[in-house]
Amino acid sequence: MDTKGIVLKPEFEKAILDLGFAEFTEIQEKCIPLIQQGRDVIGLSFTGSGKTAAFGFPALEKVVVGKGIQVLVVVPTRELCNQVAYELRKFSKYKKMHIVEVYGGVSIYPQITDLRYAEVVVSTPGRLLDHFARRTCKTDRVNILVLDEADKMFDMGFIEDLKKIIAMIPRDSQKLLFGATMPTEIMQIAKSYMNNPEKVKMQTYVDRSKLIQHYYDVETKDKFALLVHVLKTEPKGLAIIFCGTRRTVDKVNENLVRQNVMSEALHGGLTQGKRKQVIDAFHAKRLNVLVASDVAARGLDIKDVTLIINYDIPKTSVEYVHRIGRTARAGKEGKVISLLSSADYDSFTRVLEDKLILIRNLKTPDFKRIEVARNQFRKRKFNFHKS
């Protein structure tokens, strides 16, 4: 691979080759040497940029097995917690260490046991503070703290929790902060707690030359029928459909199942076990359509997604950018289709305020009208497991 002058320890070089890396991404190329040098880093990086590897490889290099918790990664959601821990385990394939996931919604007691042996902890803020209160997570040996998706944690109201977490970490620890944007409150944390941080800003996060973006104007009553038409006429592949609310996610998914589409819903109202089951099935391509809310899908890194459909238009250009960042990665082609009805006009105007977002209006195709079921029904059971 093209290492661009970056040298990792042999066990991590071997893991990179196994993972099929062709070259380091922009964020990796810029961040890995700085983190190896012990610098504090602020990284402006969107979904799909490869930031987990950007902080993961140099952080894991510094871990000494058996010496307690040395790396602490704080993330906003349980889904991202699972995702980051999964990636870090792949990176450390040839340097076995204990990587522990810590999040709410499940029993705390197995986590207490696992934390006794951990060298790396990936956690959501609330459950981490629970462990601090119980004195079941020792942080005196933490030498690297990562705040991943820091802007999202601010949006979700975790700013005070983050300050409490940072206060529990040794002052001389290396601190790495990543986000798509940096609100004033997050920059205040950087100013107060970080040591002369190096700022790394991504110039691009998807291959615009391979990303097709367009939208259809459609009446609200026909939006679902057009969605079905798009799914049945686009080339086969993995598709993510974004909806604005949990209720819409469920409604769209249930009606897709009625149309014999292999889809599943993903939102914060599902149990942790169900969310993990759905994500694993989509990863393994046992499902080909995921109907998701923004919060539930934040941080998901699923390769080979070829189609993003905005069933509801996001309220800001930043959220739109997060959505489209899940396709057209690593030189592969991708498409974004937005279904625009009257309720979306204000949001769409705000999205287009970002002049780098170029979306073509296409003539709405002829499609078969479909009656949308409004009542709950018992869904058919898909077999998520390989035969």
| Pair type for strands 211-217 and 334-340 | parallel
Could you tell me the strand order of the sheet in which 263-266 lies?
A: 263-266, 289-292, 238-242, 305-310, 334-340, 211-217, 360-361
- pLDDT at site 173: 97
CATH 3.40.50.300 fits 10-201, yes or no: yes
**303 vs 330: CA distance, rounded Å:** 9
Q: Are 238 and 308 in contact (CB under 8 A)?
A: no
User: 208-361: what CATH class?
Assistant: alpha beta
pLDDT at 43 > cutoff 60: yes
Higher pLDDT, 9 or 302: 9
**Model confidence pLDDT, tens digit, residues 267-293:** 878 887 788 788 888 888 889 999 998
**Model confidence pLDDT, tens digit, residues 90-113:** 999 999 999 999 999 899 999 999
**12 vs 89: CA distance, rounded Å:** 11
Q: What is the pTM of this model?
A: 0.63
Q: What is the mean pLDDT of residues 5-27?
A: 84
pLDDT at 299 > cutoff 60: no
Asked if domains 10-201 and 208-361 share a fold, the reply is yes
- pLDDT at site 302: 66
- Comparing CA positions, the residue from 313, 337, 357 lying closest to residue 208 is 357
**22 vs 9: CA distance, rounded Å:** 18
**Model confidence pLDDT, tens digit, residues 61-92:** 999 999 999 999 999 988 889 889 999 999 99
**Model confidence pLDDT, tens digit, residues 225-252:** 999 999 999 888 889 999 999 999 999 9
DSSP 372: P
Residue written as tokens 């959505």?
323
| Pair type for strands 71-74 and 144-147 | parallel
pLDDT at 42 > cutoff 90: yes
Residue 288 Cα distances to 232, 268, 308, angstroms: 12, 20, 12
The full set of domain ranges for the chain reads 10-201, 208-361
